[in-house]
Amino acid sequence: MSGFVEKPEPIQVPGLVHLHTGKVRELYQNEAGDLVMVASDRMSAFDWVLPTEIPDKGSILTQLSLWWFDQLRDLIPNHVLSTELPEGAPADWAGRTLVCKSLQMVPVEAVARGYLTGSGLLEYNESRTVCGLALPEGLADGSELPAPIFTPATKAAVGEHDENVSYEEVARQVGADTAARLRQATLAVYSRGRDIARDRGIILADTKFEFGFDGDTLVIGDEVLTPDSSRFWPVDQWEPGRAQPSYDKQFVRDWLTSAESGWDRKSEQPPPPLPQEVVDRTRAKYVEAYERLTGTSWS
Ligand SMILES: Nc1ncnc2c1ncn2[C@@H]1O[C@H](COP(=O)(O)OP(=O)(O)OP(=O)(O)O)[C@@H](O)[C@H]1O
Ligand SMILES: [Mg+2]
């Protein structure tokens, strides 16, 4: 079992047509045909969207994405058209709403990995490969890879796992030319992000991008290089050979799997609400990631 513990009811705004409720974002279309993307404070863990929100998370993710889009401007065009609040939108949408070019999305999760962990580590332990790419012997959980790799996945519905696929499979699905452009853009953007983050004390272990087409132009959409779309590890605690402390969901995952939560991950039961202390510490981690990366204070 997985999905939303409580399915959110989207807010209706005159002049905006509600298109989709994602795990974190609400999508609307405005009268000009542009996409209005509103990031909520929702949090997901273990394939569930939790019943407890993390205050300010939506605006932190939105502001961090905007900052990154700026850092990446010379590498690839992005989908942001305006940060202005649509007329009639609730005041609390400010800071977490982007008017974006509606792209023809490429149905591939464009993942880049510079370090070995997660599903990559599982595959490596079985076959010394990740997404079919051969890797050297002797790598451990958290090891840096000889070079970043493109490890695409198919996009899964809410509550389902994304599935890693080979590059050849992506080429079959979207065409060889698009696959090659995806890989090139993914690795270029990851490498830029990794270097910037490392200078600021954060290891960008891996990350997921979503690209789309505006005519023939490949554009980067969705959110970029946030704690929700990436694994961030503090450089000063990095130690290959064990699970690395993660920047965002650590407290949530630890608490949900602790005896205190009373929740069994393997059961059919939805996860319980988070205690205030876990909410506060998680919010502080999102703020810290924003502040470390951008070098500006959140408040
Ligand atoms: N410029 C764009 N044009 C069209 N769709 C976009 C654009 N940018 C992002 N999207 C889509 O908006 C959605 C973002 O919402 P969110 O991140 O909450 O969804 P998700 O849970 O990751 O995925 P899903 O939508 O499948 O539930 C994604 O489906 C993403 O593909
Ligand atoms: Mg998403």
Domain-embedded: residue 243: no
Query: Does one domain contain both 180 and 222?
Result: yes
Nearest atom of ligand 1 to the alpha carbon of 24? 18
Query: Does one domain contain both 215 and 136?
Result: yes
Q: Is the CB of 105 under 6 A from ligand 1?
A: yes
Residue 261 CA to ligand 1 center (angstroms) comes to: 31
pTM of the model: 0.95
pLDDT tens for each residue of 199-218:
999 999 999 999 999 999 99
Query: Which range has the worst mean pLDDT, 1-10, 28-37, 78-87?
Result: 1-10
Domain-embedded: residue 246: no
Residue 13 CA to ligand 2 center (angstroms) comes to: 22
pLDDT at position 130 is 92
Q: Is the CB of 42 under 6 A from ligand 1?
A: no
Decide which of 237, 260, 289 is a domain's last residue: 237
Quote the mean pLDDT of the chain.
95
Going by alpha carbons, the residue nearest to atom 29 of ligand 1 is 22
Residue 144 has pLDDT above 70, yes or no: yes
Please give the Cα distance from 201 to 293 (Å, whole number).
8
Banded pLDDT at 161 (limits 50, 70, 90): confident
Domain-embedded: residue 267: no
pLDDT at position 208 is 97
DSSP strand E in the chain: where? Answer: 3-4, 17-21, 25-29, 35-39, 44-45, 48-49, 80-82, 97-100, 104-105, 108-115, 129-130, 133-134, 144-150, 153-154, 163-164, 202-209, 211-214, 217-220, 230-234
Residue 262 has pLDDT above 60, yes or no: yes
Decide which of 67, 102, 137 is a domain's last residue: 102
The CATH number for 160's domain is: 3.30.470.20
pLDDT at position 102 is 98
Banded pLDDT at 284 (limits 50, 70, 90): very high
- Answer for the pair 219, 211: CB distance below 8 angstroms, yes or no: yes
Residue 1 has pLDDT above 90, yes or no: no
Residue 258 CA to ligand 2 center (angstroms) comes to: 27
Mean pLDDT of the 262-284 span? 95
Residue 141 has pLDDT above 90, yes or no: yes
Domain-embedded: residue 292: no
Residue 158 has pLDDT above 70, yes or no: no
Query: Looking at the CA of 222, which ligand is closest?
Result: 1
pLDDT at position 248 is 78
Q: Is the CB of 117 under 6 A from ligand 1?
A: no
Domain-embedded: residue 272: no
Residue 228 CA to ligand 2 center (angstroms) comes to: 8
Q: Is the CB of 221 under 6 A from ligand 1?
A: yes
Query: Looking at the CA of 104, which ligand is closest?
Result: 1
pLDDT tens for each residue of 30-77:
999 999 999 999 999 988 999 999 999 999 999 999 999 999 999 999
- Return the best residue to mutate from 4, 21, 23 for the ligand 1 pocket (most ligand atoms within 8 A of CB): 23
Query: Does one domain contain both 152 and 172?
Result: yes
Query: Does one domain contain both 129 and 157?
Result: yes
Domain-embedded: residue 269: no
Residue 175 CA to ligand 2 center (angstroms) comes to: 23
Domain count within the chain: 2
Query: Does one domain contain both 47 and 87?
Result: yes
Query: Does one domain contain both 165 and 231?
Result: yes
Q: Is the CB of 23 under 6 A from ligand 1?
A: yes
Query: Does one domain contain both 131 and 223?
Result: yes
The CATH number for 85's domain is: 3.30.200.20
Decide which of 187, 215, 237 is a domain's last residue: 237
Query: Looking at the CA of 156, which ligand is closest?
Result: 1
Please give the Cα distance from 65 to 93 (Å, whole number).
16
Supply φ then ψ for residue 179, to 5 degrees.
Answer: -60, -45
Distances (CA, A) of 79 to 16, 37, 59, 213: 18, 11, 17, 10
Query: Does one domain contain both 68 and 84?
Result: yes
Domain that holds residue 73: 1-102
Domain-embedded: residue 57: yes
Query: Does one domain contain both 41 and 153?
Result: no
Mean pLDDT of the 260-268 span? 93
Residue 157 has pLDDT above 70, yes or no: no
Share of the chain above pLDDT 90, in %: 90
Residue 2 has pLDDT above 70, yes or no: no
Query: Looking at the CA of 158, which ligand is closest?
Result: 1
Mean pLDDT of the 288-296 span? 97
Query: Does one domain contain both 132 and 223?
Result: yes
Domain-embedded: residue 247: no
Query: Does one domain contain both 142 and 226?
Result: yes
Query: Does one domain contain both 55 and 117?
Result: no
pLDDT at position 246 is 85
Query: Which range has the worst mean pLDDT, 3-7, 55-59, 167-171, 184-188?
Result: 3-7
Supply φ then ψ for residue 99, to 5 degrees.
Answer: -90, 125
